[in-house]
């Protein structure tokens, strides 16, 4: 059986990742594909337990290395229990955040050495590098306003440890994601998150259909 395709979504807080993950999954399911939607940190029972700990704003700040190890511990379990078995069965996996989030949050912005991150990627991720990564680029002021609006609208999600950081932190996140996507154009596409939900979904569908022909095996 042909291996399924692995698609990841990346971007800053409130960029619209979860919304677009859902819409792309609906599109691909409509085409007859067997689609698994998942997220990071999380996506398996152990990884979800780590998510609770690592995103809890009530605990004091962690050292960047501890965070990177925790995100990667969650990722290793997620890959082993959820992502790789699905791909091997020919299912398509769409993941809300993945390795680029660690590279940006803990690496480019957090200051952790690139060598450490490269080593963790080699140990944990390879050979399961995404076939396509969609970077939703958005002014962080707009993204954070959307998150706040959602909270005021009744979604009772607590503020996580990153949402409350300074505007400069979020601007550096944006630049970090753009740098990775520009350095790896064969894997990544950059889309403008300021469009309407529907226009953005159409653009992302176009990229997925063009870059990941359904007959092609992995
Ligand atoms: N993290 C994660 C690390 O530091 N290292 C790592 O290795 C990993 C994997 C995860 C946190 O963990 C950090 C990064 C993060 O801080 P999370 O709860 O998963 O935290 O948070 P986010 O991924 O940032 O998810 P959000 O839900 O905050 O944002 P999304 O998914 O980008 O946005 P979405 O789709 O939920 O939309 C937000 C709001 O905007 C509206 C939606 O309806 C929603 O209300 N919206 C739009 N409004 C107008 N126009 C559009 N085009 C819109 N699209 C969505």
pLDDT of residue 62: 80
Rounded distance from Cα 10 to ligand 1 centre (Å): 9
pLDDT of residue 159: 63
Lowest mean pLDDT among 53-62, 127-136, 205-214: 53-62
pLDDT of residue 217: 40
Q: Greater confidence, 202 or 162?
A: 202
Spatial distance between the Cα atoms of 167 and 77, rounded to a whole number of angstroms = 33
Lowest mean pLDDT among 51-55, 92-96, 174-178, 212-216: 212-216
Testing ligand 1's pocket by substitution, the residue of 9, 11, 12, 14 carrying the most ligand atoms inside 8 A of its CB is: 14
Spatial distance between the Cα atoms of 188 and 210, rounded to a whole number of angstroms = 13
Spatial distance between the Cα atoms of 96 and 20, rounded to a whole number of angstroms = 9
Band (pLDDT 50/70/90 cuts) for residue 218 is: very low
Q: Greater confidence, 25 or 59?
A: 25
Q: Nearest C-alpha to atom 46 of ligand 1 is from which residue?
A: 16
**What b-and-e string marks burial along 168-200, b requiring 16 or more CB atoms within 10 Å of the CB?**
eebebbbebbbebbeeeeebbbbbebeeeeeeb
Q: Nearest C-alpha to atom 39 of ligand 1 is from which residue?
A: 146
* CA angle (162, 151, 73) in 5-degree steps: 35
% of the chain at pLDDT higher than 70: 95
Rounded distance from Cα 182 to ligand 1 centre (Å): 21
pLDDT of residue 158: 61
Among 42, 14, 39, CA closest to 170? 14
Average pLDDT, the chain: 93
Spatial distance between the Cα atoms of 180 and 102, rounded to a whole number of angstroms = 12
Rounded distance from Cα 147 to ligand 1 centre (Å): 8
Structural domains of the chain, ranges and CATH numbers in brackets:
6-211 (3.40.50.300)
Band (pLDDT 50/70/90 cuts) for residue 156 is: low
Rounded distance from Cα 105 to ligand 1 centre (Å): 14
Is the model's pTM score more than 0.85? yes
157 CA closest ligand 1 atom index: 18
Per residue in 102-153, pLDDT (tens digit) is: 999 999 999 999 999 999 999 999 999 999 999 999 999 999 999 988 888 7
pLDDT of residue 59: 81
Q: Cβ < 6 Å from ligand 1: which residues?
A: 11, 13-19, 40-41, 55, 71, 97, 101-102, 105-106, 146-147, 150, 160, 162, 195-197, 200
- Kindly state the average pLDDT of the residues 33-57: 96
Residue 78 burial by Cβ neighbours in a 10 Å radius (0-12, 13-18, 19+)? buried
Rounded distance from Cα 150 to ligand 1 centre (Å): 11
Q: Greater confidence, 153 or 15?
A: 15
Per residue in 63-92, pLDDT (tens digit) is: 999 999 999 999 999 999 999 999 999 999
């Amino acid at each position: 059986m042909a291996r399924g395709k692995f698609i990841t979504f990346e971007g800053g807080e409130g960029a619209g990742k979860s919304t677009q993950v859902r819409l792309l999954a609906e599109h691909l399911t409509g085409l007859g594909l067997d689609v698994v939607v998942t997220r990071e940190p999380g996506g398996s029972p152990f990884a979800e337990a780590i998510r609770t700990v690592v995103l809890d704003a009530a605990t004091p700040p962690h050292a960047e290395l501890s965070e990177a190890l925790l995100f990667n511990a969650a990722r290793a379990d997620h890959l082993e229990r959820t992502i790789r078995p699905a791909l091997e069965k020919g299912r398509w996996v769409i993941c809300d955040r993945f390795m680029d989030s660690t590279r940006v949050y803990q690496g480019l912005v957090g200051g952790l050495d690139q060598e450490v991150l490269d080593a963790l990627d080699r140990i944990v991720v390879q050979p399961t590098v995404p076939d396509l990564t969609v970077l939703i680029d958005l002014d962080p002021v707009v993204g954070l306003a959307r998150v706040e609006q959602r909270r005021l609208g009744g979604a009772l999600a607590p503020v996580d440890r990153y949402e409350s950081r300074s505007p400069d932190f979020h601007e550096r996140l944006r630049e970090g994601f753009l740098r990775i996507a520009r350095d790896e154009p064969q894997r990544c596409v950059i889309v403008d998150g300021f469009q309407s939900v529907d226009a953005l979904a159409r653009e992302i569908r176009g990229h997925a259909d063009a870059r990941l022909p359904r007959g092609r095996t992995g």
